[in-house]
Structure 1
């Protein structure tokens, strides 16, 4: 039937006809010059005895579900990475008694790992399996496993457009003709992967035994990453001036450790987060002086170790939310659907204000996924700093997104509260995702939380790549270049536009992308620093952050002034003038000095911002204003 007794493929077309779940395969397109393209857009019936004259790919599913699982490990990062990932997947399958076949896909060195199932496997379960494996295997292309209608992969023995064929390296191709894998085996495999993501560690009284160490030797507490507690979030945004920056840093790190953050999550915040001032600078008799780059990472690593150990030794007793896994799964499905809708509208984000609009949309999706709420409060400055754009750009982007129906204003900004935005104006979460989730039963317990962790990490990694001085427009590279750069990761298969060609040339000019055998990928992110220095834009985001923090503190100052004017008070005003900076402030004090006013008695905002920069507000007061 297309294979010899020892498993060698003797007739790839006969094998394809025997294993194909549908009555056709997809064949490669050919351009006007006769070049075979990596696009399988045409159909070829399987009842034909003659094989196609060009490479073909077999569908993985029929109308009932997936009959074949094909894990496509591409060679964008080189053949060694594909080999490592294929071996890892094969070991997992072997551990669950799942028969499989490993093939070398062609001359580029990629790998295909094949599994045939006795019964159809629901697309929701296969999609979850693909995402969980992709988190471990960077070369895995999950596109064929994400879409039951169009997902297809070249089968063993099929020709490659660059020459050669898909060659069986491990296993017996007969396993694809005589399926033995059950859905129960796939479910057990998924459950193991879910448990690995959601690992909560030993019981609370186990102390530091709960601490794990990442590949770089930095400790962390295993579990699903959560948003920082309110106190730690406020501390992260707090400008400390000449105060005790180590106290603010400790508040940030304790909350981050308890929320299952990793060292890398904090490392990328060093240039922009106000609450990490102790990491960036040291206090001297003449004020704060910058630390060398190496000392910054060493200081953060040392303080992080203390924070993780403290939280591990002093666990917080909190209740268990029995609904969290379901809510996390529903929210993840919603955000992923919204992201896929945005990806499909690639032209919407490629011109005019589109690049900044996409950054803001991704930012709101990230906030919503963190909070597990479709409605989130976020002021324009916070959004701007999270996206690497200006606050006015963020404000206009919010208006455009709302006008086009991507988001909806739920509540305007008022006082110290920013505007609240709804990411699901069509109420898709309850109208579609909550209605008749027949496949939810195939997901093991904890799958929703694990899926949320994976998607949140993807969005955060993308934001970390794009939020850099070099991608701030003006004299730097355009915003669209940054958006494209952040998506040039192994396994990415996002729609491209005509504008991508010039952007790739600009990125290549500054050595920010490199061309692999299967397409462009971004280079080491450290190259962004060199490019920013070359363009003369390094330090732009830090300066913007400091300016916005001063503006936020000044606004909080005016809110306190307004509350003082409206509240009961004695005839004598005992508050200090803004130029009388107190040498000591009681812990937790909320007393602001007098707000600067002009000759007409109105608030003098220019003087207020200058006073903030000069230290009119103590660290405690700035914390209240943030």
Structure 2
């Protein structure tokens, strides 16, 4: 009677588990026959769940394809503890240890007796899916803690299988729940399952627990072990050992220097900002190299790669302490190269030891931080923008709002986080608008609930407000307020005009926004020609680019503009040879984009170079703002405590703080902001920055003020040793060259020679004009 009730309870548990939690309609069945089942679940033994033999051992996949166009993710992170090599008491103890670690990170574990004597299964669920890299980290750390763990289920995303609760065992018995009912287990593993971030924290916890175990060889913890090769008997200082044990493996590079066992990647934006920070005499220069070196170690760099950056003074102002030393009079003396290398070796060793004790992050597995989450958030944002309707983005302020949202999305993908800095000057250039228009658009997006402010701006610190995607908002009484969309419907494709299309297949899903696609969108919307045509025409041209030879009705449905407005946009675009008519379809004219660039059209309208000028203005404004903030800090000090400063016009030499000069003022004592702009424009190399921006505009590349440089413009190659052929009809009176031959007149001071040099320059100008691309 007892066995019959146990069998019926197991059948109910298995049926409920598969129906509520397993998305597939087939499971793997054990090979063999009744009474002689094998511990083998081949792919050919998949059986449908409906009508299967409930007394036959079956297993389910832990990793599945949960979303289209994505790889496998672990729906269940299950620990299979086997009592074959260890006793049942140790298995129970280790299963309780793993369950307690999961519970500490907010993950509710569901423990089941596997059916074999003493075996345990610890089930944890994640509805959004755990990346395989995180599962491998959890699996490796758990194996070091629990010798009874079978690594194969979590180590193979393709074929990782575990028998679910209620499944039969090959030797008799069933997998039974120990502490949960089937209803509680379904809730814990399904609707109330933990997010993927909790499993990343679980990986860090298990790795820390495993690293804290005594070493089998030396009996010491990793943090107290011998030092890295190349530093003798030096021990790690307490400031680093207090972080805890090592969580990352330290290896040696090709030169025998210590480095982290991590894939190489470029430095992040925050690390680059710290590397390029200019330090004044008031800063302690010796404190800054450690943070920079630690970022390089975390990025998988070697000591030699870091030393090359140290020796480049232009790219690493924050590392001046390694190149020079301070004298008694306050000046700095250059260090010997061997001394610089010795100091860097010490800094690098401490940075590697410090980095090895920091919690692991997704970057350590070769992928950017929270890439999947940020990509999903940006994709959801564009889906919600489409669901908001064309009328939202075709109204008077619609293009500006859409442009700023696109710029923010690009910055989120670039930074790997949805919490980004909203500098209105930078957003304005990326969106093709002035800073004032970008500020108003940002205010509207905040009021409508598309984004929310996470940190207010700090004017004196030079920090812009930080924003992120909003999930709710409070409606205002403004007459132009229109609530943001927070849940995108499944189908947000445009409504096709004309005949009934209910029988046609659904429109293809819009492409997933990526850095490349958003970059193309930003390049399109920041073109100079839109300051003549208007940004509403930009939306029409972008629709023509995205659609395949659309008709007038298709453009109206995609953009939300009326017939008259759309025809006006098309007429003006055709006048600038940006759009041409294509073949008729169903008796209607189609439109296609020509090969003419937007910069050539801007040259014809006289607006070329406007965005480049705005980018330079943004850089100059930022420099002047930092100078004025330093001036306010200086004036806030008591008069006797104010340090002496250099004159405003003094040249800034390397190592000098540019904000340590006195701010320019008029004779009446009022600040002279115009003169400050002139001085800062000269200091940062505004003409070179403008040339760089104009070159990017001509090449149809993205203009980002943060990435412009005074030396970024590429100079045209010079053709050495070749002279211009003079288009003359007679012999040269100076060098006697025949018509069509090269002139060999030397640059003497005679009037005839100067006249001949002027003819050569004129011929060179005509030759250069001939090779340039013609306009139109």
TM-score (norm 1): 0.43
TM-score (norm 2): 0.35
Structure ranking higher on relative contact order (CA contacts 8 Å, 6+ apart): 1
